[in-house]
């Protein structure tokens, strides 16, 4: 298995780049944000619980997302690999992911980190909020809370994988195709 984490702040382009990467490298896309939004759309109890946190721009409790990842990995045992988008987002999630992959004799092969200025993040999310219907894009206070959560709880995840020498940082500003090209170069170097 070849497993990638696409890492970056809210609005850094994880979802946009994930679509291109999974198509090129035939990986299974796992976005905890998308999984949680589909629970909300389905009106499940998990979704209703998660919504309270998401609407305020706060992280959902670790055990909720770890449970979702555990079942996704178990139900995709034949996957060539996974692209994790928006997960892990805390130190606890990172440790748990390493453990879960180890149970399948796999590991994280590369962490691609997208760097985007805060100004640009806010601009992108406010712009998308005009049409996305995502409640957490609708106002600037919630967008700033998401960025704050990222700084307080998620930034440390990069440190966890830096110790293992797995992090490759790329600029997340520029055209979507140019960013994709540089992410592809990083992946190709690890594959070869
Ligand atoms: P999640 O769904 O993961 O959202 P996010 O990380 O806050 O960020 P986005 O998905 O909005 O941005 P992105 O980086 O994917 O960028 P995108 O490609 O969309 O999480 C939502 C919530 O769920 C969290 O707040 C939390 O509550 C909960 N949650 C999720 N995972 C969790 C976890 N593991 N633990 C706990 N809680 C969790 O691009 C953004 C915009 O920019 C788009 O409009 C796009 O078109 C545009 N764009 C992209 N690239 C470019 C470019 N190069 N130039 C110009 N515009 C661009
Ligand atoms: Mg996303």
User: What is the distance in A from the centroid of ligand 1 to the CA of 185?
Assistant: 23
DSSP string, 117-130: -HHHHHHHHHHHHT
- 101-125 pLDDT, tens digit per residue, is 999 999 999 999 999 999 999 999 9
On average, the pLDDT of the chain sits at 97
Q: Tell me how far CA of residue 129 lies from CA of 11, 12, 56, in angstroms.
A: 11, 15, 15
User: What is the distance in A from the centroid of ligand 1 to the CA of 14?
Assistant: 6
Q: Which 3 state secondary structure label does DSSP give 85?
A: strand
Atom number of ligand 1 nearest to Cα 32: 31
Instruction: Give the pTM.
Output: 0.97
Best mutation site among 5, 18, 86 for ligand 1 pocket (most ligand atoms within 8 Å of CB): 86
pLDDT reading at 192 higher than 90: no
Q: At what angle do helices 176-191 and 14-25 cross, to 10 degrees?
A: 50
């Amino acid at each position: 298995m070849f497993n990638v984490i696409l890492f970056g702040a809210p609005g850094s382009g994880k979802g946009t780049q994930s679509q291109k990467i999974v198509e090129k490298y035939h990986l299974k896309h796992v976005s905890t944000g998308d999984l949680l939004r589909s629970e909300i759309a389905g009106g499940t109890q998990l979704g209703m619980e998660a919504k309270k946190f998401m609407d305020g721009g706060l992280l959902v409790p670790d055990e909720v997302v770890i449970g979702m990842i555990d079942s996704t990995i178990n139900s995709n045992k034949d996957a060539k690999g996974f692209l994790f988008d928006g997960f892990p987002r805390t130190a606890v999630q990172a440790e748990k992911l390493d453990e879960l992959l180890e149970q399948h004799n796999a590991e994280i092969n590369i962490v691609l980190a997208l760097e985007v200025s805060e100004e640009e993040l806010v601009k992108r999310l406010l712009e998308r909020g005009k049409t996305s219907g995502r409640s957490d894009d609708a106002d600037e206070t919630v967008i700033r809370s998401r960025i704050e959560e990222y700084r307080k709880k998620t930034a440390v995840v990069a440190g966890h994988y830096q110790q293992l020498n797995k992090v490759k940082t790329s600029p997340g500003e520029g055209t979507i195709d140019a960013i994709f090209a540089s992410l592809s170069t990083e992946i190709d170097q690890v594959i070869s």
